Chains A and B, each alone.
Chain A
Amino acid sequence: MPVSMDTDTRGHPNPESIAYGRPDAAKRRPFLARLWNQRYLQAMALLGLVWMILFNYIPMYGLILGFKDYIGIGSPLGAPWAGWSHFRAIFEDDQMSQVIKNTLGISLIKLIVGFPIPILFALFLNELRSIRFNRVVQTISYLPHFLSWVILGGILTAWLSDVGIVNDILMGLHLVKEPIFYLGEPQYFWTIAVVSDVWKEFGWGAIIYIAAIAGISPELYEAATIDGAGRFQKMRFVTLPGIRGTISILFILAVSGILNSNFDQILVLKNQVNESASNVIDVYVYQVGISQGRFSYSTAVGLVKSVIALFLLLFANSVTKRINQSSLF
């Protein structure tokens, strides 16, 4: 996050303010006069500050709930302290190992399968000779991103039901003998979650790679052609290296988000029969917290998740910085 350091209050000439034609004398005016002068600006900024306090910072403060015993009545702040007991309880929670296994399992497969597909799609899209066809394919590929998970959930429940299209095709091909209720069988859940996620997001995920490919200098391709490189060689030695920086940044960000299972998706596809494969951290927090009313315990679970996610993000951020310095600029 670039935060520029130009609020110089000691009256030193600020090269930027000169460059923008603001006289240096303006900086030397008394503080209160300057403040009064920008009262409208301050009011606009303060409204944003008030919103952030109200809807970001107060809920953050609410995390102390994890250290209290709150049963849902009265003010959370008045509840008795519970120390670390809720955090200790996480380790004794029977369901926790299953929840972690599902979260990491689904996320890892999504990463391994879902991450390369947009890259491959962008690479092959770039090889299309017709610009118009390229545009049409691109536009179509974005479409599923704009559908909600509820709609997709509706399609999936229809397709995967025992009288649905999937059973119809598989039985027609004699691959299965009896119709299967796929969403009711835990062993299929991860596959369904991964495939539907890839279907929904591959085109959207490719946008950034397509833009990166468009930024590669055509001279590189011409040089490669003169050197006698074929299509695959150009893809391998010109296009792919040209977007390597983008790939590494997005990969690291994807790794840092590994504890975020897609809540909207899982909540739609989850049911009581497939629970052993579909219960992920976010859904668990929702069900224990909201449905069962164990506010303090689920806050503690959510807090542990956020802290781990934050470390992953900071780690990812520092790695990104290093890669940017060494390989891009």
Chain B
Amino acid sequence: MILLLTRKRRTLGDVAFDNLNVIGMLVICFVTLYPIWYVLVNSFNDGQDAMSGGIIYWVPRTFSIENYTTVFQNAGIMTAMGITIAKTVLGTVIHVFFTAMVAYAFSRRELIGRNFYMIVGTVTMFFNGGLIPNFLWIRDLGLLDSFGVYIYPAMFSFFDLVIFLAFFREIPDGLEEAAKIDGANDFSIFARIVLPVSMPVVATIALFHGVWQWNDYFTGLLYTNKEVLQPIQTFLYRVIAQSSSNQMVQAVGGAINRRVTGQSLKMATMVITTFPIVIAYPFLQKYFVKGLMIGSLKG
């Protein structure tokens, strides 16, 4: 009784509201997680068994890891996975380093022509050539059917530069001055001093760009025809958009196993494709929340 009295007074309405609110949130969590759970469950179910009818809702009906072993043994899918990993790692490292480097130069007050540089950059946030001129120019640059098409056109973004800029302004000048007196040039000040103290913003941009690189299917669709260059997302797009499960079986080709189906292989590939991101993002949460704030306020 005493405990009840000393606690903050909650009316009956309050209690009802709180409980309903918690239930509502649980429903939202369920709706968010269930589609992903469904894919996971079906990826671990025997393909033929899933075909035999009925929906597998909660747990695998006939547990099997054959979908995964088939996918992992398939050279085509593994190549696509390799392309995705390569373009994400290389693309993100280069994008972050290059954009941060330009941002650092733009952030220095004594930079001659700073206003000009900023205006040139700001224009790119509002105008662009659009799909067709971009496509033709990339073609004329000779980037079609080359790995570079994933890297060079994505090396830089003025939006990201603005986020870096907001962060670099906060760095105390004394840090750079000291290095300057020691005779360091501006590039090594950037690379050795500024970049290491900017890890929060580096993590934010790396996450945003990394997720984009990992999930992007359109670049592969638009600019490459060679199968060895297609990332996993483009591969999946082709399988899903053609919406025939046989496509998947055909793609997996000769190594086909009788128990797996196009649908079950699709599910396993989807899980493999999504897994790294689902594992990584909760740990990076504190960074992207802050980065999103800066980006939306300044952009």
- Taking Cβ atoms with an 8 Å cutoff, the residues of A that contact B are 1, 3-7, 16-17, 20-22, 26, 31, 34-35, 38, 40-45, 47-49, 51-52, 55-63, 65, 75-76, 121, 124-125, 127-129, 133, 136-137, 139-144, 146-151, 153-155, 157-159, 163-165, 168, 183, 199, 203, 207-208, 211, 230-231, 250, 263-264, 267-268, 271, 282, 285-286, 289-290, 295, 298-299, 302-303, 305-306, 310, 313
Rounded to whole Å, the gap between the CB of A189 and the closest CB of chain B is: 14
Known interface pairs A133-B25, A306-B128. Does A151 touch B274 (Cβ–Cβ under 8 Å)?
yes
Q: Given A44-B190, A158-B263, A290-B135, is A75 in contact with B236 using a C-beta cutoff of 8 Å?
A: no
Q: Min CB distance, B289 to chain A, in Å?
A: 6
Q: Do the beta carbons of A146 and B278 come within 8 Å of each other? A: yes
Q: Is B3 an interface residue (CB 8 A)?
A: no
User: Are A48's CB and B121's CB within 8 A?
Assistant: yes
Is the beta-carbon distance between B111 and A38 smaller than 8 angstroms?
yes
Stretch at the interface among B63-71, B100-108, B197-205: B100-108
B227 at the interface (CB under 8 A from A): no
Among the listed stretches B27-35, B85-93, B249-257, which one makes contact with chain A, having 4 or more residues with CB under 8 Å of it? B27-35
Q: Return the chain A residue nearest B36 by Cβ.
A: A143
Which residues of chain A have C-beta atoms less than 8 A from B187's C-beta?
A: 40, 43-44
The residues of B with any CB-CB pair to A shorter than 8 Å are: 11, 13-14, 17-18, 21-22, 24-25, 28-29, 31-33, 35-36, 38-39, 42, 53, 55, 57, 98, 101-102, 104-106, 108-115, 117-137, 140, 152-153, 155-156, 158, 161-162, 173, 177, 185-187, 190, 211, 214-218, 222, 233, 236-237, 240-241, 243, 263, 266-267, 270, 273-274, 277-278, 281-282, 285, 289, 292-293, 296
Partner of A302, one of B126, B130, B277: B130
Minimal beta-carbon separation of A129 from chain B (angstroms)? 6
The residues of A that contact B123 with a CB separation of less than 8 Å are: 56
Task: Give CA–CA (A35, B31) in the complex, Å.
Answer: 59
The chain B residue with its CB closest to the CB of A282 is B131
Query: Measured between alpha carbons, how far is A151 from B190 in the docked complex, in Å?
Result: 39
Taking a contact as CB atoms under 8 Å apart, the answer to whether A137 and B110 are in contact is no
Contacts of A299 in B (CB 8 A): 130, 132-133
Q: Knowing A59-B137, A159-B35, say if A44 contacts B186 (CB, 8 Å).
A: yes
Complex: how many Å from CA A211 to CA B128? 31
A207 touching B132 by the CB < 8 A rule?
no
Cβ contacts under 8 Å, B113 to chain A: 7, 45
Distance, CA A159 to CA B55, complexed state (A) = 10
Q: Chain A's nearest CB lies how many Å from the CB of B244? A: 10
In the assembled complex, the Cα of A165 lies from the Cα of B34 at a distance in Å of 12
Assess the A154–B137 pair: CB atoms within 8 A: no
Give the residues in chain A near B57, CB-CB below 8 Å.
165
* Cα–Cα, bound, A60→B123 (Å): 11
Task: Report A65 CB to chain B, min CB distance, Å.
Answer: 6
Cα A43 to Cα B104 in complex, Å, equals 12
For B293, what are the chain A residues with a Cβ–Cβ distance below 8 Å?
A: 208, 211
Query: CA separation between A163 and B266, bound complex, in Å?
Result: 16
Bound-complex Cα distance A55 to B121 (A): 12
Q: How far is the CA of A276 from the CA of B130 in the complex (A)?
A: 24
Cβ A199 vs Cβ B17 within 8 A: no
Q: Which of A17, A140, A151, A158 has a CB less than 8 Å from the CB of B32?
A: A140
Task: Verify B128–A44 contact, CB threshold 8 A.
Answer: no
Chain B contacts for A40, CB-based, 8 A: 185-187
* Cα(A76)–Cα(B138), bound, Å: 12
- Known contacts: A21-B173, A137-B25, A231-B17. The answer to whether A38 contacts B156 by CB under 8 A is no
CB-based contact A155/B39 at 8 Å: yes
B273 to chain A, nearest CB (A): 6
Which residues of chain A come closer than 8 Å to B109, judged between CB atoms?
4, 6-7, 16-17, 20
Chain A residues positioned under 8 Å from B155 (CB to CB) = 51
Q: Is the CB of A52 within 8 A of B133?
A: no
Among A6, A59, A144, A267, residue most surrounded by chain B Cβ atoms (within 10 Å): A59
Contacts A7-B112, A207-B289, A208-B292 given; indicate if A49 touches B274 (C-beta within 8 A): no
Please name all residues of chain A whose beta carbon is closer than 8 Å to the beta carbon of B274 when the two chains form the complex. 147-148, 151
